[in-house]
Amino acid sequence: MKMTSGGATSPLRHLADNGHLGRFYIDGQWVSPCGAALADVVNPATEEVVVQVPLGNEQDVDMAVAAARRAFDTWSQTTPAQRAALLERLQQQLEASAELIAQCLTLEMGAAISYARSAQVPLAIAHVRTAREVLTKFSFIERRGQTAIVREPIGVCAMITPWNWPLYQITAKVAPALAAGCTIVLKPSELSPLSALLFAEAIEAAGFPAGVFNLVHGDGPGVGGALAAHPDVDMISITGSTRAGIAVAQAAAVTVKRVAQELGGKSPNVILPDADLARAVPLGVAASFRNLGQSCSAPTRMIVPRERLAEVEAFAAKAAAEIVVGDPLLETTTHGAIANRAQFDRIQAMVGDAIAEGAKLLVGGQGRPGGLNVGLFVKPTIFTDVRTDMRIAQDEVFGPVLCILPYDTVEEAVTIANDTVYGLGAHVQGRDMELVRHIASQIRSGQVHLNHPAWDSHAPFGGYKQSGNGREYGLEGMIEYLEIKSILGYYPDA
């Protein structure tokens, strides 16, 4: 484990002082890895390696799974009230560490500090609060005549989380699984692993029993593959690319474990002819570019009436001009750096492909914004008059790149909205709510937002088609981690 002197920011210093850098959290202890492999953690704003973290191997996975298996027998028998109390303490620990976590997210994946504070951290904490709220109201046994329908925790759950919303994706999986009574082995992304260490500290401080939560760093082929294939893992939940989801499902099939996948997206934003463009378009641009477009449900296809295309372009260009890309630690910065070099290169390549295919460049383009010569900074980019057969309209960019696609009829708008292999999120904008709701019912996606409503942590989230299977958040998010048992004759007096 190596830490550069220039990387001694407060999160790194905190973790180093606590002796948690270079460690895994297994069976309630901070332990050294079994192997010697290391991965660089790069600050994307400076492109400097700030620390190296160990990569686990099959031996580390075996230790973590064994700890989770041992803990399951006791943890699964705790009462909902006991689990809810621990979740409340976890929420309190995360709230107390909110600024440290925000600084950590800015360091490891380039989020603007203002966005880390206002979205990345509080929305992550909301998943813990929501899991506790669901747990306190949930009935684990239901009477159906003489039969009892019982819901029981599925067992040991392995969780693979991505680099784009590091803590948010951890809490979206871990909190409901803990609420259900499952035990956990977490593999966070090796590209943004530090916030997971802070989360493990919060778990420890909250007082969860040893083995209930375990953390092993590693890459996909090593730790991810070992978890997916492990015979003592009952369920695996992954958020990542469709390619990664397929690989995990194939490895998991051998042991017939449950697989939940939240994968890619190319979400449509249908703007109907009667929409208030002055509101709908700027909000659509903001939603598309949130977290620098590094969100699987970002509405990166704005589908607009052809006769209003010029108006849409004007509003979109004005909204993009208000974005401030730069040093993520500056309070005036709205958008920081792309999280890693591979993603930066992909964005540049896809922007170039779009230009080569004839998409009209409205704003942005290839290269860094002016004045930024170092760091993984990209120009917020909007293409207009895009055709559905262009790669930029079909493939997930995972960057601040918006496509504007014109339509001639509302029926055509729905066809365009459904014309991808994905079906994760969608948006519809318009004044006629009967029509808005009708269009929402025609779109094949797991979640639809009407006229940019507030985020709802209780609204289940997941995909149709190649965007995955299963649901996260809210009641449905906890049900994913439960088995159904029918006990006939439980109520003989019925």
Instruction: Catalogue the active-site residues.
Output: 262, 296
Cα 467 to Cα 470: distance, rounded to the nearest angstrom = 10
How do strand 38-43 and strand 268-271 relate by DSSP bridges?
Answer: unpaired
Angle at 464 between CA 404 and CA 226, to 5 degrees: 115
Give the pair of three-digit tokens for residue 349. Answer: 């390549």
Cα 251 to Cα 248: distance, rounded to the nearest angstrom = 5
Cα 359 to Cα 351: distance, rounded to the nearest angstrom = 10
Residue 385 has φ and ψ, to the nearest 5°, of 55, 40
How far is C-alpha 395 from the geometric centre of its chain's CA atoms? 18
Give the pair of three-digit tokens for residue 192. Answer: 């943004």
DSSP state string for 203-244: HHHHTPPTTSEEE----IIIIIHHHHH-TT--EEEEES-HHH
Nearest CA among 466, 470, 427, 456 for reference residue 154 = 470
Cα 159 to Cα 27: distance, rounded to the nearest angstrom = 16
- Calculate the alpha carbon distances from 377 to 21, 367, 369, 373, 400 in Å: 28, 8, 7, 9, 11
